[in-house]
């Protein structure tokens, strides 16, 4: 039997469907999401949770004239399926395929690119302001999750929107989850829904009783209503949004398409700022995802029936895991160590730390800026905070790094996970800028380990250092090297010569690039090219002496980094050589170019950009024959 989904080429095809048909379509969409994500991986639970919400929005609002802005965009798979991307959906998150997030370049229905959280309200308000300036009449809708509502920019947007009172709809998709359990006072506040329903029922009962009485009864009713309003105000989530100047509607069942459609029809007729509070279940309709929403938030391939996760090739422990274990051990001996995450406790490997040292663990929510300044406060009082954070999310907190950390030279460790290419999440998530953005800040020490064992020692080095220090390491498995139990700080600014070579061509490799550089050296040895390979270890401070002495002797210096070339390690070497007047040495920089790198498996991207062993060998071969 043909599916309704196969007849949906654009949102306008939803208009003629009955509520019952929409229910059937929701089920078909869920099956499609599960089938494709079971092969490609993806953000399964967030997307399954908003299928009815997506259908109701697209049925009532006329995208792309009406603008629907999805926060993060990780929940927008149903949106992709009903906006003309059904045929390409099987390529989701693959090299050359459609994005796992929103992309203006992909569809006119994706009105604002995303991948990072909490931006939708500000973006939607900008779209609404542009509409008003242009004299258009379209609607603008921001859809934001309860987790993303922990990000400060969301309140900056609400504050401005309430003040402007533009025609703007904000849908709060409340599933009581961030990736892990949502944290913070707001999340407690939102979950007081039950209390508010209780107050609502109580109000109705009391009203009908008093209305049955005489005039005195009606006066009592007036007083009671006033009291009830303040009581309700104390207990309902609406109060918060009303204080921001929004009309509040909800909470409503986010899986009841009929109710959602009716509500949005009503809201469509308003012309001021409205917030619709919708309650959904993360992972809805797929039992394994409902049972383990954190696991299925973002997941690799799995069995589409049982939900069992397909095991990788096994092998070495991940950098993330080794970091978490090492930090826990260091904290066992050093009571000053406090671990901080911004809503990524599992992704950053802090699970064992939080279980062992709960009082010294903090999840600040999706609040990277706050997290950095909060950690700086701890550091100012003698603690040794370690902020474990993804490279691309730390970008949010650049001024905090500058103003609240480096300026005071505070002892704060940044454990920067997901540096380099991360894979299927693509350009919003690759950690390709941290060497550049950290290098410019005075006082900052920057390290990158060649393997997971060195990561442990670098962590120890960072925590022992009396100033800010960053250790950047990649997503995925380490090299499987033995792990030292006793950790020793590495003297700052010292690198390590791993292969002496004949000194004609010297490779200065950073972190993940050390392994492929050594492999390339082994390949080229058979061709009579005898490379020197240096594990740089410190991007700041540089090992000036070693670099300058090689520059004196070598014909060619090759720098290799899993970072953009602009402002990265290679740039630092060029600056040093220029400042010291080093002449006669040719410098070749290998790294990522000055553009946003697409999605794809990590190995595919490294290969595409010539940063695997083969690519490195090929480029040095060309240099050597010049
Ligand atoms: C700035 C930033 N920090 C962290 C993340 C990682 N992240 C992606 S989705 C998510 C949870 C979002 O929760 P919510 O908005 O409630 O959406 P749900 O997944 O529950 O649907 C987090 C922490 C991110 N994308 N951007
Ligand atoms: C949407 C988002 O930002 C996160 O879910 C991210 O995709 C997690 O990435 P990892 O899978 O590398 O933890
Ligand atoms: Mg949520």
Residue 55 CA, chain-centre distance (Å), reads 26
Q: Which of 474, 509, 524 is a domain's end point?
A: 474
Whether 612 is in the pocket of ligand 2, judged by its Cβ within 6 Å, is no
**323 and 420 both lie in a single domain:** yes
**pLDDT on residue 195:** 44
Is the distance from CB of 179 to CB of 299 less than 8 angstroms? no
How is residue 23 written in tokens?
């229910």
Our answer to whether residue 131 is catalytic in this structure is: no
Give 489 Cα–ligand 3 centroid separation in angstroms.
40
Answer for the pair 235, 199: CB distance below 8 angstroms, yes or no. Answer: yes
pLDDT tens digits, 59-110: 999 999 999 999 999 999 999 999 999 999 999 999 999 999 999 999 999 9
Q: From the CA of 298, how far away is ligand 2's center (Å)?
A: 6
Render pLDDT for 495-523 as a digit per residue (tens, 0 to 9): 999 999 998 999 999 999 999 999 999 99
CB distance 115 to 615 below 8 Å: no
CATH code, domain with 14: 3.40.50.970
Burial class (CB in 10 A: 0-12, 13-18, 19+), 91: middle
Residue for token pair 């800010």: 468
Average pLDDT score over residue span 198-205 = 52
Burial pattern 186-224, b for ≥16 Cβ within 10 A else e, equals bbeebebbeebeebeeebeeeeeebeeeeeeeeeebeeb
Q: In sequence order, what are the residues at sequence separation of 6 or more whose Cβ sits closer than 8 angstroms to the Cβ of residue 455?
A: 319, 322, 323, 326, 449, 471, 473, 478
Residues 44 and 95 both lie in one domain: yes
Give the residue with greater pLDDT, 238 vs 431: 431
Domain shared by 274 and 324, yes or no: no
Residues with CB under 6 A from ligand 1: 46, 49, 72, 74-75, 116-117, 145-148, 175, 177-179, 282, 297, 342-343, 366, 368, 393, 396
Domain count within the chain: 4
- The Å distance, Cα 431 to ligand 1 centre, comes to 17
Q: What are phi and psi of 436, to 5 degrees?
A: -70, -45
Report the nearest-CA residue for atom 4 of ligand 2. Answer: 298
Ligand 2 nearest atom to the CA of residue 422, by list position = 12
Quote the pLDDT of residue 215.
Answer: 56
In the predicted structure, residue 203 carries a pLDDT above the cut 90? no
Is 368 assigned a catalytic role? yes
What CATH number is associated with residue 512? 3.40.50.920
Which of residues 117 and 1 earns the better pLDDT score? Answer: 117
CA–CA separation, 609 and 275 (whole Å): 45
CA quadruple 277, 121, 82, 146: dihedral, nearest 10: -40
| pLDDT tens-digit series, residues 390-426 | 999 999 999 999 999 999 999 999 999 999 999 999 9
Helix intervals (H) in 448-556: 452-464, 514-525, 544-553
Instruction: Please tell me the predicted confidence (pLDDT) of residue 2.
Output: 87
For the chain, what is the mean pLDDT?
93
Which has the minimum average pLDDT: 148-157, 231-240, 571-580? 231-240
Q: Find out whether the beta carbon of 72 lies less than 6 Å from any atom of ligand 2.
A: yes
Atom of ligand 2 nearest to the CA of 179: 5
DSSP 591: E
The atom number, within ligand 2, closest to the CA of 43 reads 5
Mean pLDDT of 103-131: 98
Last residue of a domain, one of 273, 291, 309: 291
Bridge partners (DSSP) of residue 415 are 388, 471
Among 139, 281, 384, 396, the active-site one is 396
Rg of the Cα atoms in the chain: 27
In this structure, is residue 296 part of a structural domain? no
Query: Hey, which of 148, 369, 426 would you mutate to test ligand 1's pocket, going by the most ligand atoms within 8 Å of its Cβ?
Result: 148
Q: How far apart are CA 335 and CA 339, in angstroms?
A: 11
Asked if residue 430 has its Cβ within 6 Å of ligand 2, the reply is: no
Any atom of ligand 2 within 6 Å of the Cβ of 455 = no
Classified as helix, coil or strand, 386 is strand
Identify the residue whose C-alpha is closest to ligand 2 atom 1: 74
In a domain, 481, yes or no: no
Mutate which of 179, 323, 422 for ligand 2? The one with the most ligand atoms within 8 Å of its CB, which is 179
Q: What is the pLDDT of residue 221?
A: 52
The residue whose CB lies within 8 Å of the most ligand 2 atoms, and thus the one to mutate among 347, 417, 419, is 347
Whether residues 169 and 284 fall in one domain: yes
Cα–Cα–Cα angle for 401, 403, 184, nearest 5°? 65
Burial (CB < 10 A; 0-12, 13-18, 19+), residue 117, is buried
Does 485 fall in a domain? no
Q: Considering the domain boundaries, does residue 26 fall inside one?
A: yes
- Nearest residue by C-alpha to atom 13 in ligand 2: 347
Q: What atom of ligand 1 comes closest to residue 428's alpha carbon?
A: 25
User: Could you tell me if 552 and 410 lie in one domain?
Assistant: no
Does residue 490 surpass a pLDDT of 70? yes
DSSP E strand boundaries for 500-605: 505-509, 532-535, 538-540, 556-564, 586-592
Residues 227 and 250 in one domain: no
Name the residue range of residue 445's domain: 319-474
Share of the chain above pLDDT 70, in %: 93
Q: What is the mean pLDDT of residues 551-563?
A: 95
Based on the fold, state whether residues 456 and 548 are members of the same structural domain. no
Span 204-240, pLDDT tens digits? 554 554 455 555 555 555 555 555 555 554 557 788 8
* 625 contacts: CB under 8 Å, gap ≥ 6: none
Residue 307, domain member (yes or no) = no
The per-residue pLDDT for range 342-375, each reduced to its tens digit, is: 999 999 999 999 999 999 999 999 999 999 999 9
Residue 194 pLDDT grade (very low, low, confident, very high; cuts 50, 70, 90): very low
Answer yes or no: is 306 within a domain.
no
pLDDT in tens, 21-38: 999 999 999 999 999 999
Q: What is the per-residue pLDDT across 235-293, written as a single tens digit (0 to 9) for each?
A: 577 888 999 999 999 999 999 999 999 999 999 999 999 999 999 999 999 999 999 99
Residues 171 and 202 placed together within one structural domain of the fold: no
Nearest atom of ligand 2 to the alpha carbon of 116: 3
Calculate how far, in angstroms, residue 152's C-alpha sits from the geometric centre of ligand 3: 16
Same domain, 254 and 228: no
In this structure, the answer to whether residues 149 and 227 fall within a common structural domain is no
Q: Are residues 140 and 218 in the same domain?
A: no
Of 30, 67, 282, 472, catalytic: 282
Say which ligand is closest to the CA of 46: 1
In a domain, 484, yes or no: no
Domain-embedded: residue 312 = no
Tell me whether residue 365 is annotated as binding. Answer: no
Q: Are 538 and 568 in contact (CB under 8 A)?
A: no
CA within 13 Å, CB half, 273: 23
Q: Are 360 and 394 within one domain?
A: yes
pLDDT at position 315: 84
């Amino acid at each position: 039997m043909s599916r309704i989904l196969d007849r949906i080429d654009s949102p306008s095809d939803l208009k003629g469907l009955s509520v019952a048909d929409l229910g059937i379509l929701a089920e078909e969409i869920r099956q499609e999401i599960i089938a494709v994500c079971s092969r490609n991986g993806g953000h399964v639970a967030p997307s399954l949770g908003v299928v009815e919400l997506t259908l109701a929005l697209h049925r009532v609002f006329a995208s792309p004239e009406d603008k629907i802005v999805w926060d993060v965009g990780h929940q927008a798979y149903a949106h992709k399926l009903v906006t003309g991307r059904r045929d390409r959906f099987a390529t989701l998150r693959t090299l050359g395929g459609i994005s796992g997030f929103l992309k203006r370049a992909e569809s006119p229905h994706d009105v604002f690119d995303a991948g990072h959280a909490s931006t939708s309200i500000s973006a939607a308000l900008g779209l609404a302001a542009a509409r008003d300036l242009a004299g258009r009449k379209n609607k603008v809708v921001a859809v934001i999750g309860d987790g993303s509502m922990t990000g400060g920019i969301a309140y900056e947007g609400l504050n401005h929107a309430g003040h402007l009172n533009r025609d703007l709809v904000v849908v709060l998709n409340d599933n009581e989850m961030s990736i892990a359990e949502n944290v913070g006072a707001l999340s407690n506040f939102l979950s007081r829904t039950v209390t508010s329903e209780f107050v609502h029922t109580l109000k109705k009962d009391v009203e009908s009783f008093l209305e049955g009485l005489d005039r005195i009864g009606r006066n009592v009713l007036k007083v009671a209503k006033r009291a009830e309003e303040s009581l309700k105000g104390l207990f309902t989530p609406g109060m918060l949004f009303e204080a921001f100047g929004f009309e509040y509607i909800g909470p409503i069942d986010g899986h009841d398409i009929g109710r959602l459609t009716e509500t949005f029809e009503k809201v469509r007729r308003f012309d001021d700022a409205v917030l619709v509070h919708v309650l959904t279940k993360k992972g809805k309709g797929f039992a394994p995802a409902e049972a383990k929403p954190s696991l299925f938030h973002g997941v690799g391939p799995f069995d589409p029936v049982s939900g069992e996760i397909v095991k990788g090739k096994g092998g070495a422990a991940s950098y993330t895991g080794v970091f978490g274990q090492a930090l826990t051990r260091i904290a066992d001996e050093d009571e000053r160590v406090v671990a901080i995450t911004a809503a990524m406790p599992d992704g950053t490997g802090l699970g064992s730390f939080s279980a062992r040292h709960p009082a010294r663990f903090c999840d600040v929510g999706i609040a990277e800026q706050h997290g950095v300044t909060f950690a700086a406060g701890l550091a100012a009082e003698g603690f040794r905070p370690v902020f474990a954070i993804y490279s691309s999310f730390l970008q949010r907190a650049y001024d905090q790094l500058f103003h609240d950390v480096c300026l005071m030279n505070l002892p704060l460790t940044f454990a920067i996970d997901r540096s380099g290419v991360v894979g299927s999440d693509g350009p919003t998530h690759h950690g390709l800028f941290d060497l550049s953005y950290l290098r410019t800040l005075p006082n900052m020490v920057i390290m990158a380990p060649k393997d997971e064992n060195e990561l442990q020692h670098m962590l120890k080095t960072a925590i022992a250092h009396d100033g800010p220090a960053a250790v950047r390491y990649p997503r995925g498995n380490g090299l499987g090297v033995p792990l030292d139990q006793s950790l020793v700080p590495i003297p700052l600014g010292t690198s390590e010569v791993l292969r002496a070579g004949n000194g004609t061509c010297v490779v200065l490799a950073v972190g993940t690039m050390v392994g492929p550089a050594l492999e390339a050296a082994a390949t080229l040895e058979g061709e009579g090219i005898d490379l020197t390979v240096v594990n740089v270890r410190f991007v700041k401070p540089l090992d000036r002496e070693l670099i300058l002495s090689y520059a004196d002797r070598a014909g060619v210096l090759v720098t290799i980094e899993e970072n953009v070339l602009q402002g990265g390690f290679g740039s630092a070497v060029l600056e040093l050589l220029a400042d010291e007047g080093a002449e006669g040495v040719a410098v070749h920089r290998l790294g990522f170019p000055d553009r946003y790198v697409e999605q794809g498996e990590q190995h595919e991207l490294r290969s595409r950009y010539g940063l695997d062993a083969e690519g490195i060998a090929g480029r040095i071969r060309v240099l050597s024959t010049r």
